[in-house]
Amino acid sequence: MIDKPTILPGQRIRARGAETNRAGRFEATDREAVDDGWDIPEEERLIATEVRLERPRSAITFNRSPDLPFDRSINPYRGCEHGCIYCYARPTHAWLNLSPGLDFETRLVARPGIAKVLEAELRKPSYRVRPLAIGTNTDPYQPIERDHAIMREVLQVLAAFRHPVWITTRGTTIERDLDLIAAMAAQGLASVSISVTTLDETLARKMEPRAPAPKRRLQIIRRLAEAGVPVRIQVSPLIPALTDHELEAVMEAGRDAGAKAANTIPLRLPLEVAQLFRDWLEATFPDRAARVMGRVRELHGGRDYDPEFGTRMRGQGLWAELIHRRADLARKRLGLGEGLPNLRCDLFRPPPQAGDQLTLF
Protein backbone atom coordinates (compact mmCIF):
# COMPACT_ATOMS: atom_id res chain seq x y z
CA MET A 1 0.00 0.00 0.00
CA ILE A 2 1.37 3.42 -0.98
CA ASP A 3 1.75 6.03 1.74
CA LYS A 4 0.11 9.33 0.77
CA PRO A 5 1.76 12.14 2.72
CA THR A 6 -0.28 15.33 3.21
CA ILE A 7 -3.41 13.86 1.59
CA LEU A 8 -5.83 14.74 4.35
CA PRO A 9 -8.95 12.79 5.38
CA GLY A 10 -11.87 13.77 3.18
CA GLN A 11 -9.69 15.03 0.33
CA ARG A 12 -10.44 13.43 -3.03
CA ILE A 13 -8.15 13.23 -6.04
CA ARG A 14 -9.72 13.20 -9.50
CA ALA A 15 -7.85 13.25 -12.81
CA ARG A 16 -4.45 13.93 -11.27
CA GLY A 17 -1.14 12.30 -12.07
CA ALA A 18 0.63 12.17 -8.70
CA GLU A 19 -0.46 9.71 -6.03
CA THR A 20 1.20 11.72 -3.24
CA ASN A 21 2.11 15.21 -2.14
CA ARG A 22 5.53 14.55 -0.68
CA ALA A 23 7.48 17.52 0.62
CA GLY A 24 10.15 18.95 -1.64
CA ARG A 25 13.87 18.51 -1.05
CA PHE A 26 14.26 21.90 0.65
CA GLU A 27 11.61 21.30 3.32
CA ALA A 28 12.83 20.56 6.84
CA THR A 29 9.61 18.76 7.80
CA ASP A 30 6.91 16.65 6.18
CA ARG A 31 3.27 16.14 7.13
CA GLU A 32 1.32 12.93 7.44
CA ALA A 33 -2.42 12.45 7.98
CA VAL A 34 -3.30 10.33 11.03
CA ASP A 35 -6.56 9.14 12.54
CA ASP A 36 -7.59 11.43 15.43
CA GLY A 37 -9.79 8.77 16.96
CA TRP A 38 -13.08 10.57 16.43
CA ASP A 39 -15.82 8.79 14.50
CA ILE A 40 -17.15 12.02 12.99
CA PRO A 41 -17.04 11.65 9.18
CA GLU A 42 -14.82 14.11 7.39
CA GLU A 43 -16.37 16.47 4.86
CA GLU A 44 -15.36 15.26 1.42
CA ARG A 45 -13.54 17.87 -0.65
CA LEU A 46 -12.17 17.55 -4.17
CA ILE A 47 -8.62 18.87 -4.56
CA ALA A 48 -9.14 21.79 -6.92
CA THR A 49 -6.73 23.80 -9.05
CA GLU A 50 -5.51 27.05 -7.48
CA VAL A 51 -3.82 29.81 -9.48
CA ARG A 52 -1.66 32.46 -7.88
CA LEU A 53 -0.26 35.50 -9.65
CA GLU A 54 3.40 36.48 -9.73
CA ARG A 55 4.85 39.80 -10.78
CA PRO A 56 7.84 38.77 -12.92
CA ARG A 57 11.10 40.65 -12.55
CA SER A 58 12.69 38.94 -15.54
CA ALA A 59 11.37 37.10 -18.58
CA ILE A 60 14.26 35.33 -20.33
CA THR A 61 16.07 32.46 -18.63
CA PHE A 62 19.50 31.61 -20.04
CA ASN A 63 21.22 28.22 -19.87
CA ARG A 64 24.59 26.80 -20.92
CA SER A 65 23.62 23.15 -21.20
CA PRO A 66 25.43 21.34 -24.01
CA ASP A 67 22.49 18.93 -24.22
CA LEU A 68 19.99 21.58 -25.30
CA PRO A 69 19.63 23.11 -28.78
CA PHE A 70 18.71 26.52 -27.30
CA ASP A 71 20.32 28.84 -24.77
CA ARG A 72 17.28 30.85 -23.67
CA SER A 73 13.67 30.25 -22.76
CA ILE A 74 10.53 31.83 -21.27
CA ASN A 75 8.14 30.30 -18.74
CA PRO A 76 4.73 32.01 -18.61
CA TYR A 77 3.61 29.60 -15.85
CA ARG A 78 5.02 27.63 -12.94
CA GLY A 79 3.51 24.19 -12.45
CA CYS A 80 1.32 22.44 -14.99
CA GLU A 81 -2.27 21.24 -14.74
CA HIS A 82 -1.74 18.53 -17.35
CA GLY A 83 -0.40 16.44 -14.45
CA CYS A 84 1.96 14.22 -16.46
CA ILE A 85 3.40 11.89 -13.85
CA TYR A 86 6.80 11.66 -15.55
CA CYS A 87 7.31 15.42 -15.98
CA TYR A 88 10.96 16.35 -15.40
CA ALA A 89 9.89 19.91 -14.45
CA ARG A 90 8.16 18.79 -11.24
CA PRO A 91 11.25 19.44 -9.04
CA THR A 92 11.08 23.16 -9.89
CA HIS A 93 8.08 23.48 -7.55
CA ALA A 94 10.34 22.68 -4.62
CA TRP A 95 11.92 26.13 -5.09
CA LEU A 96 8.50 27.60 -4.24
CA ASN A 97 8.28 25.53 -1.02
CA LEU A 98 5.59 23.48 -2.70
CA SER A 99 5.45 19.77 -3.39
CA PRO A 100 6.58 18.43 -6.78
CA GLY A 101 3.66 16.00 -6.37
CA LEU A 102 0.06 17.17 -6.32
CA ASP A 103 1.04 20.79 -5.65
CA PHE A 104 2.83 20.91 -9.02
CA GLU A 105 -0.42 20.19 -10.85
CA THR A 106 -2.92 21.90 -8.52
CA ARG A 107 -1.14 24.97 -7.11
CA LEU A 108 -0.12 26.87 -10.20
CA VAL A 109 1.55 30.25 -10.67
CA ALA A 110 0.65 32.54 -13.57
CA ARG A 111 3.00 35.36 -14.54
CA PRO A 112 0.92 38.18 -16.05
CA GLY A 113 3.00 41.10 -17.21
CA ILE A 114 5.85 38.93 -18.42
CA ALA A 115 5.30 40.19 -21.98
CA LYS A 116 6.10 43.77 -20.93
CA VAL A 117 9.21 42.58 -19.10
CA LEU A 118 10.21 40.64 -22.22
CA GLU A 119 9.80 43.73 -24.38
CA ALA A 120 12.10 45.71 -22.10
CA GLU A 121 14.72 42.97 -22.23
CA LEU A 122 14.60 42.74 -26.01
CA ARG A 123 15.11 46.52 -26.29
CA LYS A 124 18.36 46.48 -24.35
CA PRO A 125 21.29 47.48 -26.61
CA SER A 126 23.26 44.53 -25.26
CA TYR A 127 20.67 41.94 -26.33
CA ARG A 128 21.83 39.53 -29.04
CA VAL A 129 19.11 37.55 -30.77
CA ARG A 130 18.95 33.77 -30.83
CA PRO A 131 15.85 31.53 -30.95
CA LEU A 132 13.74 31.50 -27.79
CA ALA A 133 12.27 28.23 -26.55
CA ILE A 134 8.87 28.20 -24.84
CA GLY A 135 7.35 25.09 -23.30
CA THR A 136 10.56 23.30 -22.43
CA ASN A 137 9.75 23.47 -18.72
CA THR A 138 5.99 23.75 -18.18
CA ASP A 139 3.40 23.86 -20.95
CA PRO A 140 2.50 27.43 -22.05
CA TYR A 141 -0.81 26.12 -23.43
CA GLN A 142 -2.01 24.27 -20.35
CA PRO A 143 -5.72 24.81 -19.51
CA ILE A 144 -5.30 28.05 -17.50
CA GLU A 145 -3.89 29.80 -20.58
CA ARG A 146 -7.47 30.04 -21.84
CA ASP A 147 -8.25 32.46 -18.99
CA HIS A 148 -4.94 34.30 -18.63
CA ALA A 149 -3.76 34.54 -22.29
CA ILE A 150 -0.18 35.22 -21.16
CA MET A 151 1.33 33.16 -23.97
CA ARG A 152 -0.55 35.14 -26.58
CA GLU A 153 0.84 38.41 -25.16
CA VAL A 154 4.35 36.96 -25.31
CA LEU A 155 3.84 35.93 -28.94
CA GLN A 156 2.58 39.39 -29.84
CA VAL A 157 5.81 40.89 -28.51
CA LEU A 158 7.96 38.35 -30.35
CA ALA A 159 6.05 38.94 -33.57
CA ALA A 160 6.47 42.71 -33.26
CA PHE A 161 10.23 42.29 -32.77
CA ARG A 162 10.43 39.59 -35.46
CA HIS A 163 12.13 37.35 -32.94
CA PRO A 164 12.45 33.59 -33.67
CA VAL A 165 10.61 31.21 -31.34
CA TRP A 166 10.40 27.46 -30.91
CA ILE A 167 7.26 26.26 -29.08
CA THR A 168 6.79 22.88 -27.40
CA THR A 169 3.29 21.94 -26.24
CA ARG A 170 0.54 19.36 -26.11
CA GLY A 171 -2.20 21.91 -25.39
CA THR A 172 -5.08 22.65 -27.73
CA THR A 173 -5.10 26.39 -26.95
CA ILE A 174 -2.23 26.81 -29.39
CA GLU A 175 -4.88 26.73 -32.12
CA ARG A 176 -6.19 30.07 -30.82
CA ASP A 177 -2.82 31.64 -31.67
CA LEU A 178 -2.55 30.14 -35.13
CA ASP A 179 -2.85 33.61 -36.70
CA LEU A 180 0.33 34.81 -34.97
CA ILE A 181 2.28 31.57 -35.28
CA ALA A 182 1.48 31.04 -38.97
CA ALA A 183 2.47 34.62 -39.85
CA MET A 184 5.76 34.19 -38.00
CA ALA A 185 6.37 30.78 -39.59
CA ALA A 186 5.92 32.32 -43.04
CA GLN A 187 8.90 34.54 -42.23
CA GLY A 188 10.96 31.64 -40.89
CA LEU A 189 10.48 32.81 -37.31
CA ALA A 190 8.47 29.99 -35.70
CA SER A 191 8.29 26.23 -35.43
CA VAL A 192 6.36 23.93 -33.10
CA SER A 193 6.99 20.58 -31.45
CA ILE A 194 3.98 18.55 -30.32
CA SER A 195 4.54 15.87 -27.69
CA VAL A 196 2.77 12.53 -28.19
CA THR A 197 3.85 9.78 -25.81
CA THR A 198 1.37 7.06 -26.80
CA LEU A 199 -1.56 6.38 -29.11
CA ASP A 200 -3.31 4.38 -26.36
CA GLU A 201 -5.96 6.72 -24.97
CA THR A 202 -6.48 4.67 -21.81
CA LEU A 203 -2.78 4.74 -20.98
CA ALA A 204 -2.54 8.44 -21.86
CA ARG A 205 -5.37 9.28 -19.49
CA LYS A 206 -3.55 7.51 -16.67
CA MET A 207 -0.15 9.10 -17.38
CA GLU A 208 -1.28 12.56 -18.51
CA PRO A 209 -4.72 12.96 -16.90
CA ARG A 210 -5.54 16.51 -18.00
CA ALA A 211 -3.64 16.67 -21.28
CA PRO A 212 -5.49 16.37 -24.61
CA ALA A 213 -6.05 12.85 -25.91
CA PRO A 214 -3.52 11.51 -28.46
CA LYS A 215 -5.95 11.85 -31.38
CA ARG A 216 -6.55 15.48 -30.43
CA ARG A 217 -2.82 16.21 -30.41
CA LEU A 218 -2.52 14.72 -33.88
CA GLN A 219 -5.30 17.11 -34.94
CA ILE A 220 -3.19 19.99 -33.61
CA ILE A 221 -0.29 18.83 -35.79
CA ARG A 222 -2.60 18.71 -38.78
CA ARG A 223 -3.95 22.21 -38.23
CA LEU A 224 -0.49 23.68 -37.76
CA ALA A 225 0.87 21.91 -40.83
CA GLU A 226 -2.05 23.04 -42.97
CA ALA A 227 -1.32 26.63 -41.89
CA GLY A 228 2.29 26.28 -43.06
CA VAL A 229 3.90 25.92 -39.63
CA PRO A 230 6.88 23.52 -39.47
CA VAL A 231 5.93 20.83 -36.93
CA ARG A 232 7.91 18.10 -35.22
CA ILE A 233 6.35 15.22 -33.29
CA GLN A 234 8.18 14.40 -30.07
CA VAL A 235 7.76 10.82 -28.89
CA SER A 236 8.90 11.84 -25.45
CA PRO A 237 9.41 10.51 -22.96
CA LEU A 238 9.76 7.00 -24.27
CA ILE A 239 9.05 4.69 -21.33
CA PRO A 240 10.63 1.21 -21.41
CA ALA A 241 8.22 -1.73 -21.14
CA LEU A 242 5.30 0.69 -21.26
CA THR A 243 5.36 2.85 -24.42
CA ASP A 244 8.59 1.91 -26.23
CA HIS A 245 6.82 -0.56 -28.52
CA GLU A 246 4.81 2.34 -30.01
CA LEU A 247 7.80 4.39 -31.20
CA GLU A 248 7.39 3.73 -34.93
CA ALA A 249 3.58 3.88 -34.83
CA VAL A 250 3.57 7.29 -33.13
CA MET A 251 6.11 8.65 -35.60
CA GLU A 252 4.03 7.39 -38.52
CA ALA A 253 0.85 8.94 -37.09
CA GLY A 254 2.69 12.24 -36.74
CA ARG A 255 3.96 12.04 -40.32
CA ASP A 256 0.45 11.30 -41.59
CA ALA A 257 -0.84 14.34 -39.70
CA GLY A 258 1.73 16.61 -41.34
CA ALA A 259 4.82 16.56 -39.12
CA LYS A 260 8.10 17.06 -40.98
CA ALA A 261 10.40 15.80 -38.23
CA ALA A 262 10.39 13.45 -35.25
CA ASN A 263 12.57 12.74 -32.26
CA THR A 264 12.49 10.75 -29.03
CA ILE A 265 14.01 11.09 -25.56
CA PRO A 266 14.04 8.15 -23.12
CA LEU A 267 12.37 8.60 -19.74
CA ARG A 268 14.38 10.57 -17.19
CA LEU A 269 13.43 10.91 -13.54
CA PRO A 270 15.37 13.71 -11.83
CA LEU A 271 15.18 14.35 -8.08
CA GLU A 272 11.64 13.99 -6.66
CA VAL A 273 10.21 12.69 -9.93
CA ALA A 274 11.74 9.25 -9.36
CA GLN A 275 9.74 8.48 -6.21
CA LEU A 276 6.56 10.00 -7.62
CA PHE A 277 6.85 7.87 -10.75
CA ARG A 278 7.56 4.72 -8.74
CA ASP A 279 4.49 5.38 -6.55
CA TRP A 280 2.33 5.84 -9.65
CA LEU A 281 3.78 2.79 -11.36
CA GLU A 282 3.20 0.52 -8.36
CA ALA A 283 -0.39 1.74 -8.04
CA THR A 284 -1.25 1.65 -11.76
CA PHE A 285 0.86 -1.18 -13.22
CA PRO A 286 2.00 -3.35 -10.29
CA ASP A 287 2.56 -6.31 -12.61
CA ARG A 288 5.27 -4.55 -14.60
CA ALA A 289 6.62 -1.94 -12.16
CA ALA A 290 9.82 -3.89 -11.42
CA ARG A 291 10.46 -4.49 -15.11
CA VAL A 292 9.97 -0.82 -16.04
CA MET A 293 12.23 0.48 -13.28
CA GLY A 294 14.85 -2.19 -14.02
CA ARG A 295 15.07 -1.00 -17.62
CA VAL A 296 15.11 2.65 -16.51
CA ARG A 297 18.12 1.95 -14.28
CA GLU A 298 19.80 0.13 -17.14
CA LEU A 299 19.36 3.31 -19.17
CA HIS A 300 20.96 5.49 -16.51
CA GLY A 301 23.96 3.52 -15.35
CA GLY A 302 22.24 1.60 -12.55
CA ARG A 303 20.46 4.65 -11.11
CA ASP A 304 16.95 6.02 -11.45
CA TYR A 305 18.51 9.01 -13.18
CA ASP A 306 21.91 10.01 -14.51
CA PRO A 307 22.34 13.82 -14.47
CA GLU A 308 25.56 13.85 -16.50
CA PHE A 309 25.68 16.00 -19.63
CA GLY A 310 25.85 13.92 -22.77
CA THR A 311 23.96 10.93 -21.36
CA ARG A 312 21.05 12.35 -19.34
CA MET A 313 18.93 13.08 -22.45
CA ARG A 314 20.01 10.07 -24.48
CA GLY A 315 20.55 7.28 -21.98
CA GLN A 316 23.31 4.69 -22.20
CA GLY A 317 23.74 1.02 -22.84
CA LEU A 318 22.31 -1.48 -25.32
CA TRP A 319 18.66 -0.51 -24.90
CA ALA A 320 19.38 3.18 -25.46
CA GLU A 321 21.36 2.43 -28.61
CA LEU A 322 18.58 0.15 -29.87
CA ILE A 323 15.95 2.85 -29.34
CA HIS A 324 17.93 5.51 -31.19
CA ARG A 325 18.69 3.08 -34.02
CA ARG A 326 14.99 2.27 -34.32
CA ALA A 327 14.20 6.00 -34.40
CA ASP A 328 16.77 6.61 -37.14
CA LEU A 329 15.39 3.78 -39.27
CA ALA A 330 11.81 4.96 -38.76
CA ARG A 331 12.67 8.53 -39.75
CA LYS A 332 14.42 7.29 -42.88
CA ARG A 333 11.48 5.07 -43.85
CA LEU A 334 8.90 7.78 -43.17
CA GLY A 335 10.83 10.63 -44.78
CA LEU A 336 11.16 12.56 -41.53
CA GLY A 337 14.05 14.64 -40.27
CA GLU A 338 15.26 14.73 -36.68
CA GLY A 339 15.11 18.52 -36.48
CA LEU A 340 13.31 21.37 -38.20
CA PRO A 341 14.94 24.06 -40.38
CA ASN A 342 16.89 26.72 -38.52
CA LEU A 343 14.92 29.80 -37.57
CA ARG A 344 15.94 33.19 -38.91
CA CYS A 345 17.64 35.69 -36.63
CA ASP A 346 18.48 38.33 -39.24
CA LEU A 347 14.99 39.86 -39.24
CA PHE A 348 15.12 40.97 -35.61
CA ARG A 349 14.25 44.66 -35.25
CA PRO A 350 12.87 46.43 -32.15
CA PRO A 351 9.68 48.17 -33.28
CA PRO A 352 9.58 51.98 -32.92
CA GLN A 353 8.02 53.39 -29.79
CA ALA A 354 6.78 56.83 -28.78
CA GLY A 355 9.65 59.27 -28.50
CA ASP A 356 12.01 57.45 -30.85
CA GLN A 357 13.97 59.62 -33.28
CA LEU A 358 12.93 58.93 -36.86
CA THR A 359 15.52 57.63 -39.30
CA LEU A 360 16.28 59.33 -42.62
CA PHE A 361 16.03 56.08 -44.61
Tell me the mean pLDDT per 10 residues along the chain, length 361: 50 82 79 62 77 97 93 98 97 95 96 98 98 97 98 98 98 98 98 98 97 98 98 97 97 98 96 96 96 96 92 92 97 96 97 71 54
Smallest CA-to-CA distance from 266 within 305, 216, 210 is with 305
Distance of CA 144 to the CA centre of its chain: 15
User: Which 8-state DSSP code applies to residue 341?
Assistant: P
User: Strand, coil or helix: what is 6?
Assistant: coil
Cis geometry, peptide bond prior to residue 76 (ω within 30 degrees of 0): no
**Pair 60, 73: CB distance under 8 Å:** yes
Rounded to whole angstroms, the Cα distance separating 79 from 188 reads 30
Rounded to whole angstroms, the Cα distance separating 70 from 322 reads 26
Total-model pTM: 0.92
Q: CA 23, 29, 35, 38 torsion: positive or negative?
A: negative
**Pair 238, 265: CB distance under 8 Å:** yes
Beta bridge partners of 195: 234
All structural domains of the chain: 53-334 (3.20.20.70)
Give me the pLDDT at residue 355, please.
66
